[in-house]
């Protein structure tokens, strides 16, 4: 019988968002967490998003323990920033277009 972990997917997402808030800009956000194959970690995809456009794509991951409020690992912040710059340049026209 499989039991629910003490840390829920929503809690893992909140933990990831706090880490992002502490280290990166406001366009980075945690997407929906899912359990890893080892079942003891949540994988939380990190996306770059803009209010009028939504998600531009995934830039990294944060892994959160299913048992404690611990970040186990994450994509280096520099790598997330680099991936975000690439996505920004791909979508620059839409990002900078006037809101109608």
pLDDT tens, residue by residue, 1-46: 456 668 999 999 999 999 999 999 889 999 999 987 767 899 999 9
In this structure, is residue 68 part of a structural domain? yes
Tell me the three state secondary structure of residue 73. Answer: strand
Report the distance separating Cα 41 and Cα 53, nearest Å. Answer: 30
Q: How many domains does the chain have?
A: 1
pLDDT in tens, 64-75: 999 998 999 999
In this structure, is residue 52 part of a structural domain? yes
pTM of the model: 0.86
Contact assessment for residue 57 and residue 47, using Cβ atoms and an 8 Å cutoff:
yes
- Which residues constitute the domain of residue 51? 9-95
In this structure, is residue 36 part of a structural domain? yes
- CA distances to 52, 54, 73, 81, 93 from 61, rounded to whole Å, are 23, 18, 8, 12, 26
In this structure, is residue 100 part of a structural domain? no
């Amino acid at each position: 019988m499989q039991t629910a972990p003490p840390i829920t997917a929503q809690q893992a997402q909140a933990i990831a968002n706090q880490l992002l808030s502490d280290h990166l800009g406001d366009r980075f956000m945690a997407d929906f967490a899912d359990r890893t194959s080892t079942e003891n970690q949540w994988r939380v995809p990190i996306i770059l998003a803009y209010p009028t456009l939504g998600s531009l794509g995934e830039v990294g991951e944060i892994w959160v323990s299913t048992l404690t409020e611990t970040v186990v690992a994450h994509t280096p912040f520099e790598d997330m920033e680099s991936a975000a710059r690439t996505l920004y340049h791909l979508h620059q026209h839409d990002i900078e277009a006037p809101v109608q």
